[in-house]
Chains A and B, each alone.
Chain A
Amino acid sequence: MKIKMTINNVLKEVEVSPSEFLLDVLRRLDYMSVKKGCDTGTCGVCTVLMDGKPVLSCSVLAASADGHKITTIEGLRDDPEFKAISQALLDEGADQCGFCSPGLILNVYAMKRDLKNPTEEEMKKYLVGNLCRCTGYVPQMRAIKKYFEVRS
């Protein structure tokens, strides 16, 4: 079946099977920043924005994304918020393999819009679905707090 999605502000018509999930379609279309980790809704590395909201692309049927707006990290390349978040992570050495970074950055991007002056506890609750196998979250939290300019 044919579906239409606006991916990173470009309208695309894509042929998908009704059984396919959005993650596999995006990777098939070469949006390689979108990673596949668990494929069961647990790790958050497949996060993309759908109509601006962070979702697990491994758990969204591609067909149900028909007519929606999808944003991956590639689409935020020139976005100042994206640059600030990734710079903060780099500054704190919070990326090792970087596998989890695209998903984390997209969720932090959405969190900035959703939460006003969040406490550290609120940040942790918002980011609970973004797992990292390498860094142990301490440098990530440090970076994110700096980005939010939160005093601990």
Chain B
Amino acid sequence: MIEIKEYCRPKTVEEAYEKLINIEGAEIIGSGAFMRLSSRKINLAIDLQDAGLNYVKLENDEIKIGGATPLGDVERNEIIKNAFSGKLVEVFQMIWSVQLRNIATIGGTVFPRLGFSDLITTLLALNADVVLFNNGRMPLEVFLEEKIRKDILVEIILKNKDMKFSFQNVRNSFYDFSILNAAVSVDKDNNYRIAIGARPAVAKLAINAMNYLKENKNIEEVAKIAAQEMDYGTNIKGSKEYREMVAPVLVKRGLEEVIK
């Protein structure tokens, strides 16, 4: 059960941030869809729906997605449909249900660094940046390592919409969480990015494998290196050993798709 004492809907991000840092027990909410599954007390719930953060736009060749945009609005957007040969839309459409995506926001999906997230793995491979109100713009991989707690995710930025990209995952049924997921991308200058997530920890880049790929295109070997440089864990969805075995297969399939 979540217990919320007060609720407010600020008109600007500045006002929202002001409340977030000055009022004890204040928290940002997207829709509350995920938050409600935990048990906590919130003194002030700050709803961003009127703060002007609901948009998808193309600016200076970068795709910018506002932090309070519901996933469903992103998925129906023409810019997103056309980006990355339509592959990004496919990832969005894998996230649970139409009804959930119409409320869950991109900020609520990225900011809490959820381990099972399909979107974070994808955005890592796509070399996305996050823009935080107080801490500013930074690469997603830096944000994932930082211990930032009180801030507002204002925007996600996709810098290169022409990358080739593949998302791979195993799950027990289409309507389930990933037991393991991996995303692979390559840009025009042959820079590869490989991310593995739902291990069940939050996604990470396979740096050694990415470096190896600069010199050598042996896909089997790259997949092995990528899988080996990650840590895996056991949870209700699958065991550590199972994830270890599956990881190179997913990376290999991803690489095959972007290389062909």
Q: Which secondary structure dominates chain A's binding surface?
A: mixed
A51's closest neighbor in chain B, by CB? B102
Complex Cα distance, B31 from A60, in Å, reads 6
A35 to chain B, nearest CB (A): 13
Chain B contacts for A56, CB-based, 8 A: 33, 97, 99-100, 103
Stretch at the interface among B2-10, B115-123, B158-166, B234-242: B2-10
Complex Cα distance, B47 from A1, in Å, reads 15
A18 touches B49 (CB 8 A): no
Chain B contacts for A17, CB-based, 8 A: 4
A131's closest neighbor in chain B, by CB? B175
Task: Count residues of B near A (Cβ-Cβ below 8 Å).
Answer: 29
Complex Cα distance, B3 from A60, in Å, reads 14
A55 touches B29 (CB 8 A): no
Q: List residues of B (92-128) whose CB comes within 8 Å of A's CBs.
A: 93, 96-100, 102-103
Q: List residues of B (18-71) whose CB comes within 8 Å of A's CBs.
A: 29, 31-33, 36-37, 45, 47, 49
From B7, B32, B37, A1 is in contact (CB under 8 Å) with B7
Known contacts A18-B7, A63-B47, A128-B175; A54/B31 CB under 8 A? no
B72's closest neighbor in chain A, by CB? A53
Task: Count residues of A near B (Cβ-Cβ below 8 Å).
Answer: 30
B102 touches A53 (CB 8 A): yes
Complex Cα distance, B245 from A133, in Å, reads 34
B97 touches A61 (CB 8 A): no
B99 touches A64 (CB 8 A): no
From B6, B31, B76, A59 is in contact (CB under 8 Å) with B31
Stretch at the interface among A39-47, A75-83, A84-92, A94-102: A39-47
Question: Could you give 10 example pairs across A and B, Cβ below 8 Å?
Answer: A18-B4, A18-B7, A40-B37, A55-B99, A55-B103, A56-B100, A59-B36, A128-B175, A129-B96, A129-B98
Q: 14 more A-B contacts (CB under 8 A) besides A50-B102, A59-B103? A: A18-B7, A21-B36, A41-B96, A44-B99, A50-B103, A53-B72, A56-B33, A59-B32, A61-B4, A61-B32, A64-B49, A114-B76, A128-B97, A128-B98
